[in-house]
Structure 1
């Protein structure tokens, strides 16, 4: 497995080229990581998202896709907004979650980003089981052709331990 950094912390404080936002499809802010990125990054992020909605994404960003905006006041150059799926016990949406990571790294490559910080997409309010979320995240990033540095910034010690155990198991 490639070298993927795992830390517990606040993703809005990490100095990287691109911070990935676990956004909702409206791109207009929300709770959790999305709300924190919009609060700390400031109004220029929301303005850029509104422009996307008014032009190229009138129906919002589909789950599994990604798009970039300015990072505003964050210590990053860009925010890559991605929409993860809501977990379902009746429907396997694993490929949509993997696509959110893949598309984020494709956008990072297009931007020329050399470093990317991810949250645990879909593992918060969207209810994705943590072990499965970690496995999909780590295996998808590991398989990506993205050549830059990848850091997962996990909000809690518990989530950090899940990601560490998953990484160790996948090695």
Structure 2
């Protein structure tokens, strides 16, 4: 520790960080980047080593920095590039979707989309956040009369079933 006191979390604040699997994935990418950087240093390609270290540091930092904080009144989502704080009253609709595209190597990428009054939507990657964060957000929104919709795709339905397993009768 560096001796500085960390502020105590406010009462009633639920804090969620990236899942363990997301940390493992970013660590593997970081280790691969270290291997490439070592190969670059051995061969004298210092530029390649620097680029490999930078590219390896990005997912590690992104995973470590990711945080979702939820209170009874607001949501705060922090990433490396941005921090957004929303009042839960600003959210008009929420749904789970899992689009496919070249950016996701044609695999479905499950995400939670929050439509916000007067602002761009907030998109949360459901592969990096724990299911408990989505459940807690869903409960907070349900108290405000907002349900979470599910897109009509197999991947979105599987994601919703994973987060909210069907009850056994």
Indicate the structure whose relative CO is greater, using CA pairs within 8 Å and at least 6 residues apart: 1
The normalised TM-score by structure 1 is 0.29
The normalised TM-score by structure 2 is 0.30
> More strand per residue: 1 or 2?
2
